[in-house]
Amino acid sequence: MTGSMRDKIAKTTQTARTAQTVRTAQTGQSDPGNARSSVPFKRPNGRASFPRRMTLDLDNARYDWLRREAYESRVPAAELLRAAIALMQGDPELRQRVVARAEEEHPAP
């Protein structure tokens, strides 16, 4: 990474985690005293980058529905999925319904 790019990234630092990442990139050494957080890394363009990625395979009907919902609500599809996960985490009844539906579609071996 060039010095000018490092400077641009450092200037856009918005979180403690980002500052740690920038220091690590500059020095090549991690900061063991700083625990991982759930705060996303803020890229220079402002878009968040979360520490874990997941690939999701959808049939055409579900894919079309999700893209349409994202477009109509003007919310990224990934944010809709994150919000659905948050709702399940906070609502045990909803979580049970979702798990039951998943078990119907994909029974345990």
Q: Give the pLDDT confidence of 3-62 residue by residue, as tens digits.
A: 565 565 555 544 455 555 555 555 656 555 444 445 566 666 666 666 788 899 999 999
Q: Is residue 31 part of a domain?
A: yes
| Predicted local confidence at residue 13, as pLDDT | 45
8 and 43 in one domain? yes
Q: Is residue 55 part of a domain?
A: no
The answer to whether residues 50 and 76 touch, using CB atoms and an 8 Å cutoff, is no
76 and 45 in one domain? no
| Predicted local confidence at residue 38, as pLDDT | 54
16: containing domain = 3-49
pTM of the entire structure?
0.54
- Number of compact structural domains in the chain: 2
45 and 7 in one domain? yes
Q: Is residue 54 part of a domain?
A: no
Q: Is residue 66 part of a domain?
A: yes
The answer to whether residues 13 and 22 touch, using CB atoms and an 8 Å cutoff, is yes
| Predicted local confidence at residue 40, as pLDDT | 60
pLDDT exceeds 90 at position 76: yes
Residue 94 belongs to what H/E stretch? helix 92-105
Q: What is the CA radius of gyration of the chain?
A: 19
Beta strands in 14-62 (DSSP E): 41-42, 48-49
76 and 42 in one domain? no
